[in-house]
Structure 1
Amino acid sequence: MMNNWWSGSTDQLAVCSRSALVELAAVLPATGRFVVARLDGTRMRDTDDALYEFSDALLFPGYFGWNWDALSDCLRDLNWLPADGYLVVVENAPQLLSSSAEDQHTLFRILYQAVRHWGNPLGQPDGKGSPFKVLLLCDRDEEAALLRQEIAYAVRQSRS
């Protein structure tokens, strides 16, 4: 999965168990400016914590509104953090928003929409899409499989 994930993958949100993990250098392209934001699901058990961690990791501006809509807006903008691509890595992803399945699905929908937004060349300043990838890391294969099901559910909900 990781060999040509950056340039050729259609994965919206990639889930990976640690046993399958490769070096970060093998995931990113060899050239360009890339922002890598590392977050920890154990530090994002509720909405406030998740919003704080995303804001901190991606240096959100002072006008960030501290709600889901504001997170969505900032993830689709990032003009204060110019790059050729973005990689968001969430370690311990099964603990992410574990206090609320609804909030977890909301976050997955927002991440899915950000991935699609950045990949769409329409509306981008240079007329071409930019990679925005999200990698969710799990300790075990079973956790990865369950998380993939949760993401699939959230994505289906965003399309309806």
Structure 2
Amino acid sequence: MWRNSERPVQVLPSNALLSLEDVVPPSGVVAVARLDGAAMVDVDGVFEQFSDALRFPSYFGWNWPALSECLSDLHWLPARRYLIIIENAPCILRENVDGRAVLFSILAEVGRRWANSYEPDDYGMGPLLHATLLCDEQDAESLEQEIASAHTASTANRSAIRKPTSRSPS
């Protein structure tokens, strides 16, 4: 999970056996936040879980841009790397497909930002923020597909933002 080739959001069956090398980062202080997807059935539950587990500052705005901003910063929680573990992941915003896609997209985008750190000491260190979604084995494949879809959408949105638009003269 800490290799450069790894995606910043990963789905694992709760009963998965992992090697120590896969779980423990190479070095440094790691902040671990455990969230419960069963408490994230609505958007407020999502914000509450992230805010409590990562000790968001009082100015956290309880909306998607604020979540992205706080996950991109985390200066109030000093660590070399961040691991977010979400148990009961299939329960996350189960009735809110759009909100779920937004959350997964934010996690993928923020993880990419952390992985592309411009700090010289962090170059080549792999993902500095990693989210692991835990689920039953039968739910893993569909969650992986959702994450991949959110990752693709996030990449497409980023490309669209950077692409210059051509305007014809009026």
Q: Say if 1:23 and 1:42 are closer, same or farther in 2 by CA, change over 3 A.
A: farther
Q: Could you tell me which residue of structure 1 aligns to residue 42 of structure 2?
A: 46
Code of the aligned partner of 1:62: S
- The count of residues paired between Structure 1 and Structure 2 equals 154
Residues of 1 paired with 2:9 and 2:31: CA distance? Answer: 17
Partner Cα distance (2:50, 2:21) in 1: 22
Equivalent residue, structure 2, for 1:136: 133
Offset at 1:125?
Answer: 8.1
- In structure 2, runs of 5+ residues without a counterpart are 157-170
Runs of 4+ in structure 1 deviating by more than 6 angstroms, as ranges, are: none
Q: CA RMSD in A?
A: 2.1
Percent same amino acid at aligned positions? Answer: 45
Alignment of 1:54-133 (within 5 A): 54-122=50-118, 124=119, 128=123, 131-133=128-130
TM normalised by structure 1 equals 0.87
2:153 aligned with 1:157: yes
Larger radius of gyration: 2
* Aligned residues of 2:2 and 2:22 also touching (Cα < 8 A): no
Amino acid corresponding to residue 72 of structure 1 in structure 2: S
